[in-house]
Structure 1
Amino acid sequence: MSQDGPEIKALDRVNPSTVIALCLAGAVFGVCMVAATCFCYRRRRAANGKRQGPEQPLAFHSHRRPTAVKSPAGASSHYLKKSPSPTGPGRSPPGMSGHNTPSPTGNMPGALEAGVNSHMDQVSQVNHLPVQKDIVFTTETELQSPNREEVETNEKNTAQSASYLGQLVFKLRYKTDKNALIVSVVRCRDLPAKDPNLGSSDPYVKLQLLPDKQHKVKTRVLRKTRNPVYDEDFTFYGLNFNQLPGITLHFVVLSFDRYSRDDIIGEVFCALNTVDLSQAEKQQTALCREIQPRSLKIKSQGRGELLVSLCWQPAATRLTVVVLKARNLPKMDVTGLADPYVKIYLLYNGQRIAKKKTHVKKRTLSPVFNESFVFDIPANGEGSLEQVSLEFLLLDWDRVTKNEVIGRLDLGGSKCTGSALHHWNEVCNSPRRQIADWHKLRE
């Protein structure tokens, strides 16, 4: 070692792996520099081309013909009505776009073609809009109104869809050794939504055997569904095979309501004389029936007449009412009969203060009641019936659903007219006399 500093020795050899690594690193660095230079050059060239090039007009793409969708708010001009989305009214599932291309003005697709004039106003503003990619406009020829046949066909389909209440699937089986009829309520399909907020229903099914109305069963309630599956069996014993042709199965489909009366969706009648019962003896027979709306049984046949007798006793301030009979009642059941009874309300100053009712008369259109009722009249110091009136309701009893009003009658009060008014005046002017008269029932 010298006095000037440490001695530097020359390398005898270089490791080949070190040389290869340095070469590869230099090559990668060179490639990255070339790529960065090319990218910057192309970006600059593209920017210069956009600034210097002529403005390109917004072209109409005639090769793509989107389906023109009329707004459902139109009176009768729409010819394509979309079904509501299961995720909510007028909404698409998250992350999905509709089939219609958005309007350049930013409106919703359902209002894009509200009319030819509004569309042409949008087209006139095209030159003031920036060039956008993949925007498709509908030409004037695509906005032609549907012809008369298309409108009539659409209205017919709309009416049919509005009256369609779904289907009921059930099975029948008869066991000869036990004299038992087994009815299986399988499922319902495509029920209407009775809860508009949820777009669903809480359906269940009631079943009874006509004409006796002695057997009544019902399924469980299934929540928030329009296609409930029940698979519930109901066995009716004591039915001879020869009795089956005279029996009709009456199904009523309802939607449960926690806070009010359950909503009636519809009903299904199945007369067993229309079913091959010999097959039901051997194996289970599956049937499918379309649910029908609750029928309005009272049409042009009238509502019948009611015979009542009244007696006013001013000393005891009592009014005796005798419901004698009814006649010419409308057919309320599929059997052509009814199960009538009468409700009587006593009204004082227009308010109901007392109620009476007769017994139910089964399977008749000419019931005989012969039932007497006594009403105590509030003492008004005048000993008259000026502030008193009677309201009669003739109803058809039904074990499964709400009892239906056949007709009504008012005696006394402002609604009393015609023969009813004459009868009431005669009772008021002839105390202690029993006076009877026939009266036609009104709606």
Structure 2
Amino acid sequence: MCSAFENTSFRYLSLQIYLPFSDTLKYCLLALAIALFLAALIILACKMHQYYSYKSASTLKDKKLIGGSNAEKKTEGNILVKSLSPDFLEVARREQDSKIQHMQKEMEKLEVHLKPSPPSTESLDDLGSDSDRPQGPRGKLKFNLYYNRKAATLMLNVIEATDLPEYSRDPFVRVRVFSKADEPQSEVQSVIHECETRVVKNSRNPIFDEDFSFSLRDYPLSNSSLKLEVKDFDKYSRHTLIGEIRITLKDLKVSESLEFNEDLQDKTKDIIGEVLISLKCLPTAQKIEVGILKFKTSSSSIIKDRDVYARIDVFSNQHKQKHQKSSLRAKSKVTVFNETFLFSLPDPGKTHCLILISLYETLSTGKKLIGQTTLGNQKAQFKDSHWDLMMQTLRQPVADWHPLYI
């Protein structure tokens, strides 16, 4: 026990020999360490204060830049301009002037060739299909018709098309059966049946040989007609109309098969309803208000469980504005929308404007065009009384019925 105590005492004495520091020096070193630690804390606090001050100042500066006036922006621009050398500014101004002159010359060249586009009631799917094709023979379409009186069924066999134009590559036939309203003076029709043949690839003399059956039990044969449109299929763009044939079914002999081989004719329009449109001109705001109020069609064209909506396209001075759509409405004999839409119209008295109203119905496979109508002042030879009345009663809505074409 004594030897262990002696060993511990010896080690303590040896440690005192290897660390010959006085207590005063030890306390001085401790005080220095504490002072350095406090200095580090003070420096860290200063840096944190600078960081948060800089962050708040930059946020305030961004707000001022966003909400600042044009005068402040010009002042800052002038400061930047003054900081640049005169030689550099002179070179930059010369380059900018030369670019502006070049752009003006190009604009003048374009204005010579640009002409106002005529108004059109073409479908958005068929727009430009007829006007941009060379006029000439369109070819022929061969088909058979047979009407079964007992079953009140019309049988159609689309056989073939021959001698189609050179631009026709992938033709097909769209078939529509129309029924006219019972009102004697009304021109409104309804599409009671619609179908298409298959597409024949790379042929100017396509053979279809397809049969279709249409029930006419609820529609008088005297008020019905058949329309066959030969179109060129385009997967990525609009289908091109080649020509059409129209057959009035009242002249069709009952219970006798008839064969037709008719020349394809130009596109014709059918009125399938009316749409009530309101117009209001706001000259101070340089805007025009287009209202879609009601859509009216014949009772025979009512299809349940389908919704309809309107699309408005406005073209002003050859510039197409972003279209707008109405909300969905349940299709009925009279569909009420009561929605208005605003479009820009600078200088309404001089601006050429075309408004295209398109009505669509929704299907499980997508959408289907019901019909379209146009109004505006784009062509001087075709006066639009509705547009003229709007210009005479500024800031007041004016409503009128317009026929809907297909």
Query: What is the TM-score of this pair, normalised by structure 1?
Result: 0.39
Larger RCO (CA within 8 A; separation ≥ 6): 2
Pick the structure with more strand per residue: 2
Higher helix residue share: 2
> TM-score with structure 2 length normalisation?
0.43
